[in-house]
């Protein structure tokens, strides 16, 4: 659901869920902003927070069965800790109580991609069926790595360029390292992103400050799956227990860590290490367990 840009951002985990469902013998069709009736089980993946309250109620009143996967942080009775005041300031705002919450309550089941939401949603009368944990799938190994000697970029970062992230990137640049940036304010297609990952020695995973400081677990899994070296910013809450698949450094040590792994070429062995680790945690197993839990209770 939502905008095409949102669809592009979420393509990695949409594919991951699709591949795992297919492994389990299910026929899967991906559609954009459309619900199917009949015997189809609709799973709405993310993006609903971009819709108006009227559009959310259209889903609720459609008489179509659906499951929901909220991809945003639910906190303090808001989506992404944004109030109506933020909308007046030109920032995205979601009508939580009038639209988003009724949408979640109208779902046949809710899967959370953040453990935080597993704890938060029951406060509003929504009991998630389970936690959708990301794992390894061989079909998501889609980056054909070029030889190290042909990698012509040191550090690549893609994401929203907040002030905190910009400060870290500035220090890295001051160290003399070459940086490629992809600001989410100017979306690019996944195959272009993957080309930049391929040519880079380091891919950064910097903390998000929405709601609470956290790291993208999906990015960690995706990089480890593709045997690409990721360097994550340390955070107090490792939501989903994904940091074990990534190299980690404190914000004020990230630039030095970049220099160190490039000078020693340690990023090559570390990429192999985390790749071998993630292979022990198949996405198929996670989803099979979640499906059993979900439909045993419906």
Each residue of 141-153: pLDDT tens digit? 999 999 999 999 9
Together in a domain, 218 and 244:
yes
Together in a domain, 250 and 184:
yes
Number of domains in the chain: 2
Q: Which residue is it, tokens 């303090």?
A: 76
The span from the CA of 82 to the CA of 255, in Å, is 31
3-state helix, strand, coil in the chain (%, to 5): 45, 15, 40
Together in a domain, 115 and 177:
no
Residue 209 has pLDDT above 60, yes or no: yes
Together in a domain, 16 and 40:
yes
The span from the CA of 247 to the CA of 103, in Å, is 38
pLDDT at 30: 84
pLDDT at 148: 93
Share of the chain above pLDDT 90, in %: 65
Together in a domain, 36 and 123:
yes
Task: Retrieve residue 64's tokens.
Answer: 């179509």
Identify whether the C-beta of residue 42 lies closer than 8 Å to the C-beta of residue 84: no
Helix (H) / strand (E) element for 74: namely strand 74-75
pLDDT band for position 113 (cuts 50, 70, 90): very high
pLDDT at 268: 98
Together in a domain, 146 and 119:
no
Q: Quick count: other Cβ atoms within 10 Å of Cβ 199?
A: 15
CATH number at residue 202: 3.40.50.2300
Together in a domain, 126 and 221:
no
Q: Higher confidence at residue 279 or residue 214?
A: 279
Task: Retrieve residue 265's tokens.
Answer: 């070429």
Together in a domain, 179 and 212:
yes
CATH number at residue 38: 3.40.50
Together in a domain, 194 and 248:
yes
The span from the CA of 153 to the CA of 150, in Å, is 9
Residue 184 has pLDDT above 90, yes or no: no
pLDDT at 89: 46
- Residue 108: what are its φ and ψ, rounded to 5°? -70, -30
3-class DSSP assignment, residue 136: strand
Q: Higher confidence at residue 135 or residue 88?
A: 135
Each residue of 114-141: pLDDT tens digit? 999 999 999 999 999 999 999 999 999 9
The CA–CA distances, whole Å, from 246 to 40, 218, 224, 270 equal: 37, 11, 7, 8
Q: What is the mean pLDDT of the chain?
A: 90
User: In Å, how far from its chain's centre is CA 161?
Assistant: 16
Average pLDDT over residues 185-189: 71
Identify whether the C-beta of residue 53 lies closer than 8 Å to the C-beta of residue 99: yes
Q: Quick count: other Cβ atoms within 10 Å of Cβ 292?
A: 11
Together in a domain, 291 and 210:
no
Each residue of 225-252: pLDDT tens digit? 999 999 999 998 899 999 999 999 999 9
Has this prediction a pTM greater than 0.85?
yes
Each residue of 15-73: pLDDT tens digit? 999 999 999 999 998 887 788 887 788 999 877 888 888 989 999 998 888 999 998 88
The CA–CA distances, whole Å, from 2 to 11, 50, 139, 250 equal: 13, 5, 26, 34
Together in a domain, 259 and 289:
no
Residue 88 has pLDDT above 50, yes or no: no
3-class DSSP assignment, residue 138: helix
Residue 177 has pLDDT above 50, yes or no: yes
Together in a domain, 51 and 9:
yes
Task: Retrieve residue 205's tokens.
Answer: 């995973």
Residue 264 has pLDDT above 60, yes or no: yes
Domain range holding 205? 138-278
* Strand-pair category, 200-205 with 153-159: parallel
């Amino acid at each position: 659901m939502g905008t095409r840009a949102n669809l592009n951002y979420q393509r990695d985990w949409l594919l991951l869920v699709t591949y795992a469902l297919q492994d389990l013998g299910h026929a899967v069709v991906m559609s954009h902003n459309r619900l199917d009736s009949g015997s189809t089980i609709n799973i709405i993946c993310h993006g609903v927070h971009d819709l108006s309250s009227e559009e959310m109620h259209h889903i609720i009143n459609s008489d179509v069965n659906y499951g929901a996967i909220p991809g945003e942080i639910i906190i303090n009775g808001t989506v992404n800790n944004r109030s109506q005041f933020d909308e007046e300031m030109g920032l995205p705002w979601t009508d939580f109580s009038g639209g988003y919450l009724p949408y979640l309550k109208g779902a046949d089941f809710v899967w959370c991609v953040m453990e935080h939401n597993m704890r938060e949603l029951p406060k509003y009368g929504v009991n998630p069926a389970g936690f959708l944990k990301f794992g390894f799938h061989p079909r998501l190994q889609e980056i054909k790595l070029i030889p190290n000697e042909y990698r012509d970029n040191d550090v690549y970062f893609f994401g929203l360029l907040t002030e905190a992230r910009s400060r870290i990137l500035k220090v890295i640049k001051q160290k003399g390292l070459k940086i490629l940036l992809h600001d989410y304010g100017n979306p690019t297609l996944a195959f272009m992103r993957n080309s930049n990952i391929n040519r880079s020695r380091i891919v950064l995973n910097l903390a998000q400050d929405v709601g609470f400081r956290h790291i993208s677990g999906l990015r960690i899994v995706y990089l480890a799956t593709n045997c690409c070296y990721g360097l994550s910013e340390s955070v107090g809450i490792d939501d989903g227990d994904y940091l074990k698949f990534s190299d980690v450094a404190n914000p004020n040590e990230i630039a030095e860590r970049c220099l160190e792994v490039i000078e020693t070429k340690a990023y090559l062995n570390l990429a192999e290490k985390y790749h071998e680790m993630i292979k022990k945690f198949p996405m198929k197993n996670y989803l099979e367990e979640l499906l059993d839990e979900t439909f045993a209770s419906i």
